[in-house]
Each structure stands twice: as structure tokens, then as C-alpha cells.
């Protein structure tokens, strides 16, 4: 008899299990390509263990998505209350539940197939109006994958897979039902999204940084779909949302703390960030027209190995027009931090770092200075918590940890290392002149 | 509009909403900013989509987080089960003083929005902002009853009676806003 369930060993989840139909997706070209895309771009230059790929992360996301789904749809009034059934009638239909489980796992498997070489690093080198989510969407709708969706019984609607894989923020043209929104949150959500759960655990494991670990078993076991009051001021109307039982709140807090620390220590590490900038500078000259192609065949052939080979060739060829910038990466001669965001200067002018960058560029020349800016986009996670006495409350009303987590923000001005001492002296002499309160009419547009 | 001017507009909006008895959670700010941008033509440039509680902008959410990171806004936790309220900080007052032209150019429009939404809860704001979304984005030529029906189609928990009232309110608000701008 042919085997229908297959197991893949995984350092985070021990085994990832998938059925034969999911294995067809795994064997497709878009998915196999992920074996050649580093999960964390050039982070391995700072944390040598970070050589893992999007391939295993996507398998992990599928595994966790199935686990969360099984918990939040468990046919038990402790898990799915009558109130939730009245808000999402779909959840009580057995035939639909198995359909949506399949859609969710397929969406989880495919959620990253649009990633460019070196993952997020070079996303801005896509043409206007393109991002990796749009490429993911194109690939899910492509003939190769559409043939798989069509052959399933019942066939899967590719629109459903797209919605769950990229979420409402990146599929603004598609209307989401409450049920679809919740399912997409299982993959891409800020707190209970399994994409985040897997990357924190996996990146932490591979970088050797312990901060990313949290009790995901407890968190998954306590996730529920809960009726959240529609308004902040406690109105009677309710909307269904992913939330957590009070007993799992500390696990949710631990995840958010893990995220905060791993962002600070790994994703926003200053050396990692400058390598990203150098790589973008290289790619801007290497790619035709300075942009990644968006047609599917070109995308499928575009991998980290291809670009790494070009990078090395340029670094060893003194006549190559990209020799210098390639050498900064290959010979580890990256620019260094000359100035970084700090509360004192922010209080004077929220654009302090940008002002330093602009003046430094004028003084030292644009080829010697680089600027990096990041502020996280999501606010503090406001999700429903079911207290021990059965009340539904806002996470922000009972968690000091969540309330006090500062938004992640960085600003770096990087300087060619040969000019670093000069830069520091220059900044010391001119700091007060550069960082002044903004004046109307003179600010940056 | 650059980031400093946007900061002046949003922090002033938060202050005015609080002065006008708004709870001023994120949903209130989202709806008020939508009306300010679409009806009062304040060029904040946020992209709004129809989301869980009506028009919503992910860009605006990111900007509110950035304003917190820069110490211009803060969250005030409330007793359970309620979500937090947003408040402007002293630093934001300083910024408003540094941008008198921007402040004066948009202040009366911000006042108009805050006064028009005085004391309204999220449920009412959801209906009102969705009514505006239907009127501006979906059925700009539609009769009031067509637009009310569309609102019900989009938000099935809203009754036709409530939707009709919201459409009538938004039509009045549009008329008043236009005379304010003229």
C-alpha cells in the first residue's frame, strides 16, 4: 500500500508530517527553490550558524499552522463556544473544517515562495508596487501550482490560499470574511502567527542566541477564538478574534519579549544591517536596470548561490565595476557605525539621525556614508484574553509586559572605516549645530 | 506631507479628540483620521482599506507606533476589560509650537472633526466611517437608500435603519465640511 503520510526530521519540531498532496507542493519548483534562499540573508557573516533556509522554515510553519488549527477548532465547548459558532457558523461544519485545514496548511507551506535571494535584504530592488507577497501571490496562481489545487478533492480555491498566505494587509483588494481573517492570522498574525513562532525558535536555534526561545507548546495549547468587544470602551457588539486563555498569557508575553530581544540582537544588529546595505549597493549595479525581474521563470532561477558567485567574481576582479563594493562584503571591510539614534537627540528632533547623515554626506561625500532607519510597524498587540472567571478582557488591560514593551526603532549612520576617526571628530565639533529643533519650512520633505 | 507635519496633525488630532470626550483608542483615531483626510482634505496620505471595524490604514498604524517610539504619543492603560487610550505628550506640544503654519492651517479642520465626533463610541464611528467609505469609494452616485443597503451588505451586524441614519449623518457632515473648507 502506498504511504500517504510522510515524515521529515526537523531540529525544531522533531518531525514535520505531510500528506502526499502536500508533498506535491514540496516537490514543485517554487518550493524547492527555497532550499537556496537563506532565511536571514547575510546574517551568517555575523552569526556563522545562521545558514538555514526558507525551505525548512516553511515546513515548520505548516506544521505549527496545523497544530493551532486543531486546537482552535476542537469540537468541545471549552474550546469552541456557542457564541463563537454564532459568529462563525463555518466552524461547526465538519466538511468545511477539513477543507479549510488543507487550505491553511497549503497557504503556510507557500507563504514565503515569493522571497527574493537573501530574503528581505533586497526587497526594495523590486519594481514599484511589487513585494515578495505579490510574487507569492503570482506563484500560488501560476499554472504549476494551480494544477495541484485543481486536482485536490474538493479542489482548493487559489484565492483562499492567497488570502491566508499573505493576510489582509497584503491582499487589500480581496474581501476577507471574519473566518478567513482569523485563519490568515494563524499564519501571519503578530502574536499567534505561526510564521513568527517558527522563525523565532528556528533563528534562535541556528544563531545560537537564546533570546528567541519561548514556551510555544503552552501558547499553542491555550490559543482560542474569542468574542472580542468591538470597542475599546467595552461595547456589547463582539467580533471573533484569536486570543488566549489567561493561563497562556505569560507564554504570549514570552514570545513578545523573545521577539524584542532577537530583533535587537540579531535582525537589527548593526553589522548585519550594513552588510544588507552593501549587498543592495552591489545588486543595484549587478541586476539589469538595477531591479529584480518579476516574471515567474526568472524568479524561479534567482537564488542566493547565483548572486554569491557573482559577488565573489567581482571581489576578485580588480577591473570589475563592482569590485569595491563586493570587496566590502567578501573581505569583511564593511562600514562602521558613526552615529546612532538616542533618546536625547530624538527629544530635540525626531529626524536627528537623518540630519547627521545629510550633513555628513555633504562633508565626506555620498560614497563614504550610508544611512539605515527602521521602526516597527505594528502597535502593541491588543488581543482578547479569557480570564479564569470567564470574562473577555484586553491583553493591554492586564499585561504590564505588553504595555511596557517599547517599539523597536533604529537609526544608524555608517561611515567608511577609513574615515571613522575623522567622522567622530567632525561630529563632536558640529553636533550642536546639526541637531537642532526643526524649523518650519526647513525640514526634510 | 513630511513626517514632522504629519506628527503635528496627528498629535493635535489626539489632543482634540480627548478634549471632546472621545475615548481615543486606536480605532477612534483611525476613524477620525480617515474623516480628516477624506472629508477635510488634510493631505496625510494614508491608504485606507475596509477592514474589521470599517476604514483602516496600516500606514497610519505604523505612524502611530513611530510617534510612540519618538515620545510624541503615549498609551494610557485602562482598568480591565478596556483597551488603552492614546494621549499626546508634552514633547508633542513643543513640536506643534515649532510648526505654527501647519498648526494654523489644519487646526480648524481638526477641531471640526473632533467636535463632530464628540463622545461617539467605536460602534457609531464604524457605521459613520463606513458610510463615508461607501459614499466616496463604492457608490458615489448612489441614492441614500442604495448606499445604506451597501453598508448593510458590508457590515451585516448593522441594521438597515442604523445604516440609513449613518448615511444621513455623513451626508450632513460632508455638506458642513464643504462649507467649512469654502
Question: Model pTM?
Answer: 0.91
Least reliable range by pLDDT among A94-108, B4-18, B39-53 = B39-53
Residue A2 above 80 pLDDT? no
Residues of A in contact with B68 (CB under 8 A): 379, 407
Asked if residue A129 and residue A57 are part of one domain, the reply reads: yes
- Cis ω on the peptide bond leading into residue A154 (within 30° of 0)? yes
State pLDDT tens for residues A114-147.
999 998 888 999 999 999 999 999 999 999 999 9
Question: Is residue A132 within 8 Å of residue A123, measured between CB atoms?
Answer: yes
Kindly determine whether residue B2 and residue A232, on different chains, have CB atoms separated by under 8 Å.
Answer: no
Residue A304 sits in the same domain as residue A220: no
Pseudo-torsion of CA B72, B77, B82, B83, nearest 10°? 40
Q: Would the pLDDT of A191 be above 90?
A: no
What pLDDT score was predicted for residue A238?
79
Cβ separation of B72 and A376 shorter than 8 Å? no
Residue A3 pLDDT exceeds 60: yes
| Domain CATH for A37 | 1.10.3210.10
CB pair distance less than 8 Å for A397 and B121: no
As a whole-number percent, the residues of chain A with pLDDT over 70 amount to 97
pLDDT tens digits for B76-91? 988 888 888 999 999 9
Residues A328 and A225 in one domain: no
Residue A397 falls inside a structural domain: no
Portion 10-39 of B in contact with A at CB < 8 A: 23, 25-28
Residue A83 and residue A53 in one domain:
yes
C-alpha Rg value of chain B to the nearest Å: 16
Whether residue A319 is found in the same domain as residue A213: no
Residues A310-323: tens digit of each pLDDT: 999 999 999 999 99
Percent of all residues in chain B with a pLDDT value above 90, rounded to a whole number: 75
Q: What is the pLDDT of residue A416?
A: 98
Which domain-ending residue is among A227, A248, A270? A270
Residues A257 and A171 in one domain: yes
- The DSSP symbol for A378 reads S
A439 belongs to a structural domain: no
Give yes or no for residue A443 having a pLDDT over 70.
Answer: no
- Tell me: do A217 and A113 sit in the same domain: yes
Say whether pLDDT at A207 is over 60: yes
B156 in contact with chain A, both atoms CB, cutoff 8 A: no
Total domains present in chain A:
2
| Residue A346 DSSP code | H
**Strand order of the sheet with strand A369-375?**
A336-340, A409-415, A369-375
| B69–A438 CB contact, under 8 Å | no
Query: Does A438 sit within 8 Å of B99, measured CB to CB?
Result: yes
Could you tell me the pLDDT band of residue A172, with boundaries at 50, 70 and 90? confident
**Domain-embedded: residue A386:** no
Same domain, yes or no: A95 and A241: yes
Task: Specify if A103 maps to a domain.
Answer: yes
Of A246, A270, A294, the one marking the end of a domain is A270
| Of the residues A270, A304, A339, the one at which a domain ends | A270
* Residue whose C-alpha is closest to residue B128's, from B141, B113, B143: B113
Residues pairing with A409 in the sheet: A375
Q: In this structure, what CATH number is given to the domain that contains residue A361?
A: 1.20.1250
Domain region containing A210: 5-270
pLDDT at B38: 94
Q: Would you list the domain boundaries of chain B?
A: 3-181
**CA dist., res. A331 & res. A432, Å (int):** 36
Predicted pLDDT of residue A444: 61
> Does the structure show a pLDDT above 70 at A407?
yes
Do A213 and A176 share a structural domain? yes
Same-domain pairing of A324 and A303: yes
Q: Note whether residue A400 is domain-resident.
A: no
Question: A299 and A250: one domain?
Answer: no
Q: How far apart are CA B175 and CA B114, in angstroms?
A: 16
Query: In the predicted model, is pLDDT for residue A445 greater than 80?
Result: no
For residue B83, the chain A residues in CB contact (below 8 A) are 232, 382, 394, 396-397
Could you give the CA distance from residue A19 to residue A90 in angstroms, rounded to a whole number? 24
How distant is the alpha carbon of residue B120 from its chain centre?
11
Confidence of residue B140 (pLDDT cuts 50, 70, 90): confident
How high is the pLDDT of residue B81?
80
Cα distance between the two ends of chain A: 68
Using DSSP's 3-state secondary structure scheme, residue A180 falls into helix
List, for residues A34-47, the tens digit of each pLDDT value.
999 999 999 999 99
A226 and A288 part of one domain: no
Mutation target among A170, A249, A440 for the B interface, most CBs of B within 10 A: A440
Amino acid at each position: 500500500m502506498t504511504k500517504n503520510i510522510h515524515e521529515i526530521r526537523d531540529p525544531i519540531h522533531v518531525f514535520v508530517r505531510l500528506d502526499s498532496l502536500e508533498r506535491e507542493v514540496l516537490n514543485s519548483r517554487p518550493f524547492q527553490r527555497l532550499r537556496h534562499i537563506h532565511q536571514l540573508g547575510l546574517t551568517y557573516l555575523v552569526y556563522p550558524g545562521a545558514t538555514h533556509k526558507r525551505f525548512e522554515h516553511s515546513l515548520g510553519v505548516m506544521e505549527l499552522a496545523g497544530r493551532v488549527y486543531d486546537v482552535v477548532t476542537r469540537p468541545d465547548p471549552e474550546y469552541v463556544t456557542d457564541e463563537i459558532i454564532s459568529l462563525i457558523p463555518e466552524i461547526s461544519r465538519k466538511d468545511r473544517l477539513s477543507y479549510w485545514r488543507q487550505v491553511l496548511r497549503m497557504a503556510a507551506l507557500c507563504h514565503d515562495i515569493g522571497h527574493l535571494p537573501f530574503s528581505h535584504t533586497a526587497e526594495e530592488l523590486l519594481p514599484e508596487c511589487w513585494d515578495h507577497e505579490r510574487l507569492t501571490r503570482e506563484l500560488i496562481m501560476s499554472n504549476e501550482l494551480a494544477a495541484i489545487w485543481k486536482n485536490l478533492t474538493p479542489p482548493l480555491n487559489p484565492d483562499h490560499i492567497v488570502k491566508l498566505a499573505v493576510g489582509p494587509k497584503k491582499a487589500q483588494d480581496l474581501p476577507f470574511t471574519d473566518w478567513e481573517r482569523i485563519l490568515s492570522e494563524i499564519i501571519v498574525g503578530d502574536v499567534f502567527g505561526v510564521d513568527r513562532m517558527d522563525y523565532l525558535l528556528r533563528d534562535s536555534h541556528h544563531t545560537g542566541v537564546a533570546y528567541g526561545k519561548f514556551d510555544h507548546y503552552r501558547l499553542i495549547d491555550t490559543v482560542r477564538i474569542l468574542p472580542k468587544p468591538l470597542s475599546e470602551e467595552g461595547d456589547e457588539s463582539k467580533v471573533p478574534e484569536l486570543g488566549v486563555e489567561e493561563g497562556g498569557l505569560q507564554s504570549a508575553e514570552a514570545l513578545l519579549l523573545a521577539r524584542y530581544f532577537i530583533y535587537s540582537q540579531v535582525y537589527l544588529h548593526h553589522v548585519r544591517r550594513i552588510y544588507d546595505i552593501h549587498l543592495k549597493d552591489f545588486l543595484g549595479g549587478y541586476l539589469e536596470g538595477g531591479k529584480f525581474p518579476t516574471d515567474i521563470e526568472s524568479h524561479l532561477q534567482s537564488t542566493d548561490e547565483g548572486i554569491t558567485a557573482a559577488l565573489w567574481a567581482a571581489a576578485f576582479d580588480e577591473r570589475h565595476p563592482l569590485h569595491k563594493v563586493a570587496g566590502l562584503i567578501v573581505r569583511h571591510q564593511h562600514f562602521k557605525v558613526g552615529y546612532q539614534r538616542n533618546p536625547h537627540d530624538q527629544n530635540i528632533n525626531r529626524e536627528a539621525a537623518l540630519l547627521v547623515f545629510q550633513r555628513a554626506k555633504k562633508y565626506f561625500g555620498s560614497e563614504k556614508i550610508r544611512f539605515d532607519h527602521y521602526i516597527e510597524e505594528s502597535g502593541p498587540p491588543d488581543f482578547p484574553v479569557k480570564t479564569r472567571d470567564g470574562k473577555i478582557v484586553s491583553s493591554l488591560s492586564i499585561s504590564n509586559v505588553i504595555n511596557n514593551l517599547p517599539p523597536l526603532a533604529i537609526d544608524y549612520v555608517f561611515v567608511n572605516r577609513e574615515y571613522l576617526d575623522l567622522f567622530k571628530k567632525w561630529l563632536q565639533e558640529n553636533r550642536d549645530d546639526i541637531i537642532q529643533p526643526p524649523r518650519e519650512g526647513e525640514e526634510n520633505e | 506631507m513630511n513626517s514632522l507635519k504629519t506628527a503635528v496633525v496627528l498629535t493635535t488630532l489626539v489632543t482634540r479628540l480627548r478634549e471632546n470626550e472621545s475615548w481615543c483608542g486606536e480605532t477612534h483615531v483611525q476613524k477620525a483620521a480617515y474623516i480628516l483626510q477624506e472629508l477635510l482634505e488634510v493631505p496625510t496620505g494614508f491608504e485606507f482599506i475596509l477592514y474589521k471595524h470599517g476604514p483602516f490604514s496600516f500606514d497610519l498604524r505604523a505612524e502611530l507606533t513611530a510617534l510612540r517610539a519618538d515620545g510624541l504619543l503615549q498609551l494610557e492603560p485602562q482598568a480591565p476589560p478596556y483597551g488603552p487610550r492614546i494621549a499626546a505628550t508634552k514633547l508633542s506640544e513643543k513640536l506643534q509650537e515649532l510648526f505654527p503654519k501647519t498648526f494654523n492651517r489644519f487646526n480648524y479642520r481638526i477641531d471640526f472633526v473632533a467636535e463632530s465626533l464628540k463622545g461617539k463610541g467605536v460602534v457609531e464611528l464604524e457605521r459613520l466611517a463606513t458610510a463615508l467609505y461607501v459614499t466616496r469609494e463604492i457608490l458615489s452616485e448612489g441614492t441614500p437608500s442604495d448606499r445604506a443597503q451597501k453598508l448593510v451588505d458590508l457590515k451585516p451586524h448593522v441594521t438597515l435603519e442604523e445604516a440609513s441614519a449613518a448615511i444621513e449623518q455623513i451626508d450632513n457632515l460632508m455638506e458642513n465640511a464643504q462649507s467649512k473648507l469654502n
